[in-house]
């Protein structure tokens, strides 16, 4: 095993002093010192002086944490971490495929056919793929494997999905898939950028604009709309912003609302918005929901705002849609005006 | 401001937009039109750097509807187009960006700026009604602070800014996250007794605030998760906010 990987792996398991490393690893003192210097310069190791000794621990940062995870997991599976890391770029090139043929490996990695077979065999040995068929040879990638995910994390820089921003806000919202959000946590912790995780009460303070990190889910825009419609901020802000994008499909939204027995809740909300801004929600959309035969099951719309009581000006909507409404009409109107 | 992706615009462009917006405020201040600034620019004028977002739109009150035509006259050379509604009037100002800044934008951004970015100037008479028309809040035209307002660009303007107690009192009538956040930012500048006094001068505004303040408190105490609380916590402005609202609620209830 390469000295750098051996030292990093040892420190990944538990922090060590340089003296301890020279006594437990089959490496010369000179090699250990040189390697520690290299790893420290790369921010993979951090040094802390303890009297006459120097304690080494794993450095900070997302990639370092992932590398630590890879080393420990690889060793636990009986794999040499450096052998695995040597293949990580190739693995990343085929990682989006479920089933991979030798031909695809060739095309994507530039390996010769025999080398492609060897690479596929190696992936099976690493526990990152399993044989799908022998003629033609194909492997199934085990993408949900923890080691696989960690390898991809260090090979694939995150791509941020910039949300549609309808106005300048006192925070920056970043919608990221969980793996990317995890990377951001490390980055922000190191750079001291203040951030909060949407939906939790975890907040950090610091200089600059707060980053509100929202973990994206595997859901359609209509599903997201339905989820946000059950929160005050969704009703007064996020749902309106989504409607402004013109990406919401009202037919699909109706289907979904019907399935969840909430067609009248969505219809009522769109009706209220139509009352505020006819351009945002045209009458034809409201009519679509009014004509829906799914019925008007009695429900409470926005239970969370029960504490502020009913807005009498909304009673017309409450009767028409058979709902108990706890909405702040001015809050919604404010949202419509400012988005 | 009608925008789709302001965040993607370079800082220099956003600063220039702010400059243009504030220049209009300053122009009105220099005229004889009785005008009091409320909204985002007013919060900036009072809270300074704590108000850490760009402000593009102008919200203000004038003493009577007859001022709308005077504003139209005054702002004509700014190339604004007025439109009137039951509650007031809106002037839309097209953006003017110099060539050097336009060159910093990519094709999509340039198209976005020239087609969609506008500065919205909203004016109404001092009495502002809720959507149902059942409650109103009134800004006095003779109680304001003559303040210097700084843009995040290079412009320093002046304005007659509504007193913080009036801004807080008006914002307490709408309990969305923006107002919960703004009140949190402004509460250090507005004493509760004065806020209560202001609320009481406005007919049944107090009844509305007594209902809505419950939500303000829930957020300030962290009982209801929301963006406002998160922002205030990150800025260390959450401390004291819950107590401020509690005291405000007590005083409002006491006299009702």
B78: domain CATH number is 3.30.460
Same domain as B172, residue B126? no
Question: Given B3, B53, B215, which is nearest A308 (Cβ)?
Answer: B215
**Residue B181 sits in the same domain as residue B225:** yes
A162: which chain B residues are within 8 Å (Cβ-Cβ)? 5, 7-8
pLDDT at residue A164, as a whole number: 36
Residue B23 and residue B41: Cα distance in Å, rounded? 12
Are residues B129 and B239 both part of a single domain?
no
Distance from CA of B197 to the nearest CA of A (A): 22
pLDDT of B256 over the 70 cut:
no
- Which residues in chain B have Cβ-Cβ distances shorter than 8 Å to A307? 214-215, 218
Given B107, B137, B162, which residue is the final one in a domain? B162
Q: Which of B131, B177, B236 sits opposite A237 (nearest CB)?
A: B177
Strand partners of residue A217: none
* Furthest CA-CA distance within chain B: 60
B122 and B147 both lie in a single domain: yes
Q: Where are the beta strands (DSSP E) in chain A?
A: 16-17, 45-50, 53-58, 99-101, 129-133, 138-141, 171-176, 195-197, 210-215, 299-301, 323-325
With beta carbons less than 8 A apart as the criterion, state whether B144 and B160 touch. Answer: yes
Q: Is the dihedral of CA B37, B43, B49, B54 positive or negative?
A: negative
Task: Give the minimum alpha-carbon distance from A323 to chain B in angstroms, rounded to a whole number.
Answer: 19
pLDDT at B254 over 80: yes
Identify whether residues B217 and B244 lie together within a single domain.
yes
**Domain termination site, one of B99, B134, B162:** B162
Of A169, A233, A335, the CB nearest to B53: A169
Of A167, A196, A331, which is closest to B6 when you measure between CB atoms? Answer: A167
Contacts of B6 in chain A (CB under 8 A): 165, 167-168
- Residues of chain A contacting residue B230, judged by C-beta atoms under 8 Å apart: 171, 196, 201, 203, 210, 212
* Same domain for B196 and B139: no
pLDDT one-digit tens code per residue, A168-192:
678 888 888 888 888 888 888 888 8
Cα A238 off chain centre by: 19
CA distance B213 to chain A (A): 8
Whether chain A has a CB inside 8 Å of the CB on B236: the answer is: yes
User: Comparing B98 with B171, which gets the higher pLDDT?
Assistant: B171
pLDDT at site B236: 85
Residue B52 has a pLDDT of 67
Q: Which residue has the higher pLDDT, B8 or A183?
A: A183
pLDDT of residue A156: 66
- Structure letter (DSSP) for residue B98: -
Note whether B178 contacts A338, CB cutoff 8 Å: yes
Q: Do A203 and B227 touch (CB under 8 A)?
A: no
* In a shared domain, residues B126 and B200: no
pTM of this structure: 0.77
**Final residue of a domain: which of B121, B138, B162?**
B162
Q: Which of A197, A236, A287 is nearest to B234 (CA)?
A: A197
Q: What is the pLDDT of residues B185-239, one digit of tens each?
A: 999 999 999 999 999 998 789 999 999 999 999 999 888 888 898 888 888 888 8
CB contact under 8 A, B4 and A308: no
Looking at chain A, which residue has its C-alpha nearest residue B176?
A331
Q: Quick one: B191 and B173 in the same domain?
A: yes
Strand A171-176, strand A210-215: pairing: parallel
Would you say how long chain B is, in residues?
256
What percent of chain B is predicted at pLDDT more than 90?
47
Q: Do B174 and A166 touch (CB under 8 A)?
A: no
- Domain extent, residue B138, equals 1-162
Predicted confidence at residue A222, as pLDDT, reads: 95
Q: Minimal Cα–Cα distance from A246 to chain B, Å?
A: 12
CB contact under 8 A, B176 and A170: no
Residue A333: which of B83, B186, B175, B21 has the closest Cα? Answer: B175
Task: Answer whether A128's CB lies under 8 Å from A87's CB.
Answer: no
Which residues of chain A fall below pLDDT 70? 156-168
User: Is there a contact between A17 and A53 (Cβ–Cβ < 8 Å)?
Assistant: yes
List CB contacts (< 8 A) between A305 and chain B: 215
Does residue B40 surpass a pLDDT of 90? no
pLDDT of residue A161: 45
Structure confidence by residue, pLDDT tens digits, B117-175? 778 889 999 999 888 888 999 999 999 999 998 887 788 899 999 999 999 999 999 99
Q: What is the mean pLDDT of residues B95-99?
A: 80
The angle formed by the CA atoms of residues A189, A192 and A193, to the nearest 5 degrees, is: 100
User: Sorting pLDDT into bands at 50, 70 and 90, what band is B87?
Assistant: confident
Are B157 and B168 part of one and the same domain? no
Alpha-carbon dihedral A194, A208, A210, B177, rounded to 10 degrees: 140
Distance from the Cα of B104 to chain A's closest Cα (Å) equals 20
Q: Judge if B107 and B12 occupy the same domain.
A: yes
Residue A162: per-residue pLDDT: 44
Q: What is the pLDDT of residue B170?
A: 95
Q: How many domains does chain B have?
A: 2
B96 with B4, same domain: the answer is yes
With CB atoms and an 8 Å threshold, state whether A168 touches B3.
Answer: yes
Q: Let me know whether B225 and B101 are in one domain.
A: no
Could you tell me the pLDDT band of residue B255, with boundaries at 50, 70 and 90? low
Residue A162 is nearest to which of B8, B54, B55, comparing CB atoms? B8
Q: Return the residue in A205, A232, A272 with the most chain B beta carbons within 10 A, the one to mutate for interface testing.
A: A232
Alpha-carbon gap: A231 to the closest alpha carbon of chain B (Å): 10
pLDDT score for A158? 54
């Amino acid at each position: 095993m390469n000295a750098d990987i051996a030292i990093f792996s040892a420190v990944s398991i538990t922090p060590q002093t340089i003296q301890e490393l020279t006594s437990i690893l089959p490496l010369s003192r000179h090699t250990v010192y040189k390697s520690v210097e290299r790893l420290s310069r790369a921010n993979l190791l951090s040094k802390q002086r303890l009297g006459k000794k120097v304690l080494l621990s794993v450095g900070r940062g997302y990639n370092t944490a992932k590398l630590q995870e890879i080393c420990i997991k690889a060793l636990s599976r009986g794999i040499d971490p450096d052998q695995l890391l040597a293949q990580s770029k190739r693995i990343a090139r085929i990682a989006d495929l479920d089933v991979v043929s030798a031909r695809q490996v060739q095309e994507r990695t530039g390996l010769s056919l025999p080398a492609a077979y060897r690479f596929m065999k190696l992936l099976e040995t690493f526990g990152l793929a399993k044989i799908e068929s022998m003629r033609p040879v194909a492997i199934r990638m085990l993408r949900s494997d923890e080691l696989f995910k960690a390898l991809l994390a260090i090979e694939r820089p995150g791509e941020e999905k910039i949300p549609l921003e309808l106005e300048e806000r006192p925070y920056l919202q970043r919608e990221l898939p969980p793996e990317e959000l995890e990377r951001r946590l490390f980055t922000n912790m190191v750079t001291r950028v203040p951030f909060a995780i949407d939906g939790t009460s975890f907040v950090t303070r610091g200089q600059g604009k707060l980053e509100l990190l929202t973990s994206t889910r595997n859901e359609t825009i209509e599903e997201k709309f339905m989820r946000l419609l059950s929160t005050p901020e969704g009703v007064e802000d996020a749902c309106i912003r989504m409607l402004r994008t013109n990406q919401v499909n009202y037919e699909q939204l109706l289907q979904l609302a019907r399935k969840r027995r909430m067609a009248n809740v969505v219809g009522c909300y769109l009706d209220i918005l139509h009352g505020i801004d006819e351009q945002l929600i045209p009458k034809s959309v409201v009519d679509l929901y009014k004509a829906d035969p799914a019925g008007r099951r009695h429900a409470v719309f926005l239970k969370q705002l029960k504490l502020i009581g009913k807005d009498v000006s909304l009673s017309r909507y409450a009767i028409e849609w058979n709902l108990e409404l706890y909405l702040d009409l001015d809050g919604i109107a404010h949202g419509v005006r400012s988005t | 401001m009608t925008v789709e992706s302001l965040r993607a615009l370079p800082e220099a462009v956003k600063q220039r937009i702010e400059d243009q917006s504030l220049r209009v405020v300053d122009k009105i201040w220099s005229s004889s039109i009785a005008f009091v600034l409320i909204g985002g620019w007013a919060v900036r004028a009072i809270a300074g750097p704590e108000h850490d977002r760009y402000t593009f739109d102008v919200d203000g009150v004038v003493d009577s509807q007859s001022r709308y035509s005077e504003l139209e006259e005054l702002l004509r050379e700014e190339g604004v187009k007025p439109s009137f509604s039951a509650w007031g009037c809106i002037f839309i100002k097209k953006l003017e960006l110099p060539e050097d800044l336009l060159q910093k934008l990519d094709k999509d951004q340039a198209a976005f700026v020239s087609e969609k970015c506008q500065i919205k100037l909203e004016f109404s008479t001092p009495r502002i009604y809720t959507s149902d028309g059942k409650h109103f809040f009134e800004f006095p035209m003779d109680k304001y602070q003559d303040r210097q307002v700084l843009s995040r660009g290079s412009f320093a303007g002046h304005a007659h800014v509504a007193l913080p107690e009036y801004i807080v009192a008006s914002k307490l009538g709408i309990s969305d996250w923006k107002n919960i956040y703004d009140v949190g930012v402004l509460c250090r500048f507005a004493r509760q007794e004065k806020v209560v006094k202001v609320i009481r001068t406005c007919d049944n505004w107090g009844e509305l605030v007594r209902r809505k303040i419950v939500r303000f408190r829930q957020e300030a105490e962290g009982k209801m998760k929301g963006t406002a609380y998160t922002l205030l916590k990150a800025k260390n402005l959450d401390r004291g906010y819950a107590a401020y609202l509690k005291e405000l609620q007590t005083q409002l209830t006491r006299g009702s």
